[in-house]
């Protein structure tokens, strides 16, 4: 059994309750909302973010029901973000299926995304926990800011620095991982220190998650990731593999790479050349080394929590799992 299946079986009661909440909060008299919402949520994926909220709450011995409301809210924020992202990125495939914007059009995706955002806030409000709402609404705001920042950078058509890349992935991905972990501490009435530790753990895990995502865009297998490989490259999105590659190239190839980034579009030949250069310069290995250092960082955050139980163990193993994911 894979780690995720293990966790799902351990949390099966809570997951069942979350699924009921999801269905309940997608049911409206407007069929199109239910249809698009269900399509997206059914595609499901691993639901790693809500699992983080559940595991973090359980690790701290939480015994109420608010973790289910918050986990569902987290999943809804994530789903809304995906809908809007796919419109902005003009993506056509996600998790082996055509994206919602392809099936129902981008207008429906925009509006159903707004609906999911609003529903996520309604779910949070039901917990009555102001600090939990503060954490998640802050994350949602930072995500939007990160997406705008990515869009602005894309328009500039330039190589970004590793520091800039770090900022983008922190805001667009890691902040929601962080809040998902933190709210588990918050509703369990943990100290500010413990909440902050969980937040930091989530940040590192989220960064790992996004770096792997960006790596898979170059080194993943379409039959595993369920979307087109090299989407980022053809879109002109500068991610870690490109940033690291640039550093290792000679002047001529550096110029070539910059030209590709500056160009209106990129060709299949461009991609093959970049891929070949990445292989030559062992970019994948370099990124895996970096990810292993992040893994140590994540573990050291978790070690600061003075608790030992299976939930903590699952959280710790999720880091390794995230690094090794191929889809």
Sign for the pseudo-dihedral over CA of 184, 190, 195, 198: negative
Q: Which is nearer to a copy of itself, 20 or 156 (CB)?
A: 156
52: DSSP letter? H
Q: Which of 120, 125, 155 is nearest to 50 (CA)?
A: 120
- List the structure tokens of 31: 């069929």
Shortest Å, Cβ 142 to a copy of itself: 8
* Shortest Å distance, C-beta 152 to a copy of itself: 5
* 119 contributes a contact to a copy of itself by CB under 8 A: yes
Nearest approach in angstroms of CB 19 to a copy of itself is 20
The distance of closest approach from Cβ of residue 47 to a copy of itself in the complex, given in angstroms and rounded to an integer, is 21
Label residues 104-122 b or e (16+ Cβ within 10 Å = b).
bebebbebbbebbbebbbe
Which residue, 92 or 141, is less far from a copy of itself as judged by CB? 141
Binder to a copy of itself among 23, 148, 224, 307 (CB under 8 A)? 148
In angstroms, the CA 92 to CA 88 distance is 11
H or E segment at 93? strand 93-94
Q: Are 81 and 171 contacting, i.e. CB atoms less than 8 angstroms apart? A: no
Phi first, then psi: give them for residue 196, nearest 5 degrees.
-65, -40
CA separation for the pair 254, 248 (Å, rounded): 9
Query: Minimal distance in Å, beta carbon 136 to a copy of itself?
Result: 9
Give the DSSP letter string of 133-198.
Answer: HHHHHHHHHHHHHHHHHHHHHHHHT-PPPHHHHHHHHIIIIIHHHHHHHHHHHHHTT--HHHHHHH
> 4 to 43, contacts with a copy of itself by CB under 8 A?
28, 30-33
Q: Which is nearer to a copy of itself, 109 or 200 (CB)?
A: 109
Residues in Cβ contact with 27 at an 8 Å cutoff, skipping those fewer than 6 apart: 34
Residue 133 found at the interface with a copy of itself (CB under 8 A)? yes
Among 47-55, 107-115, 253-261, 272-280, the segment contacting a copy of itself (CB under 8 A) = 107-115
Beta bridge partners of 97: 94
Contact between 258 and a copy of itself per CB under 8 A: no
Which residue from 24, 128, 282, 307 is in contact with a copy of itself, where contact means CB under 8 A?
128
Structure tokens at 228: 């087109």
In whole angstroms, how close is the CB of 29 to a copy of itself at the nearest point? 8
Q: What gap in Å lies between CA 140 and CA 134, rounded to an integer? A: 10
Segment near a copy of itself (CB under 8 A), from 117-125, 199-207, 253-261, 299-307?
Answer: 117-125
The one among 87, 216, 260, 278 contacting a copy of itself by CB under 8 A: 87
Among 65, 98, 122, 161, binds a copy of itself (CB under 8 A): 122
Is residue 103 a contact residue for a copy of itself (CB under 8 A)?
A: no
121 binds a copy of itself (CB under 8 A): yes
111 binds a copy of itself (CB under 8 A): yes
Using rule CB under 8 A, residue 102 touches a copy of itself: no
Question: Binding to a copy of itself by residue 161, rule CB under 8 A?
Answer: no
Q: Is 157 in the site for a copy of itself (CB under 8 A)?
A: no
Residues 176-215 that bind a copy of itself (CB under 8 A): none
Write the CA distances from 302 to 46, 208, 308, 315, integer angstroms.
22, 15, 10, 8
The site for a copy of itself (CB under 8 A) is made up of 28, 30-33, 80, 84, 87-88, 107-108, 110-115, 117-119, 121-122, 125-126, 128, 130, 133-134, 137-138, 140-141, 143-145, 147-149, 151-152
């Amino acid at each position: 059994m894979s780690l995720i299946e293990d966790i799902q079986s351990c949390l099966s009661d809570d997951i069942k309750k979350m699924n009921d909440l999801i269905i309940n909060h997608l049911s409206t008299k407007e069929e199109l909302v239910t249809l698009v919402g269900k399509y997206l949520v059914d595609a499901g994926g691993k639901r790693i973010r809500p699992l983080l909220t559940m595991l973090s709450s359980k690790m701290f011995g939480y015994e109420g029901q608010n973790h289910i409301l918050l986990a569902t809210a987290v999943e809804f924020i994530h789903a809304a973000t995906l809908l809007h992202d796919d419109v902005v990125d003009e993506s056509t495939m996600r998790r082996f299926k055509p994206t919602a914007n392809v099936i129902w059009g981008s207008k429906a995706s925009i509006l159903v995304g707004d609906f999911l955002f609003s529903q996520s806030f309604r779910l949070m409000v039901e917990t009555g926990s102001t600090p939990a709402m503060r954490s998640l609404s802050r994350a949602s705001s930072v995500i939007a800011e990160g997406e705008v920042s990515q869009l602005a950078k894309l328009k500039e058509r330039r190589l970004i620095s590793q520091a800039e890349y770090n900022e983008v992935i922190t805001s667009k991905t890691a902040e929601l991982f962080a809040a998902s972990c933190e709210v588990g501490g918050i509703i369990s009435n943990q100290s500010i220190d413990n909440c902050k530790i969980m937040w930091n753990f989530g940040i590192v895990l989220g960064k790992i998650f996004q770096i792997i995502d960006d790596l898979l865009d170059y080194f993943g297998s379409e039959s595993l990731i369920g979307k087109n490989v090299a989407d980022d490259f053809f879109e002109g999105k500068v991610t870690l593999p490109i940033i690291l590659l640039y550093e290792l190239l000679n002047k001529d190839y550096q110029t070539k790479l910059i030209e590709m980034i500056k160009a209106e579009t990129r060709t299949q030949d461009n991609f093959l050349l970049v891929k070949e250069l990445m292989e030559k310069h062992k970019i994948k290995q370099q990124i895996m080394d970096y990810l292993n250092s992040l893994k140590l960082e994540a573990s050291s955050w978790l070690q600061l929590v003075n608790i030992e139980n299976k939930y903590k163990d699952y959280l710790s193993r999720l880091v390794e799992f995230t690094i090794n994911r191929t889809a």
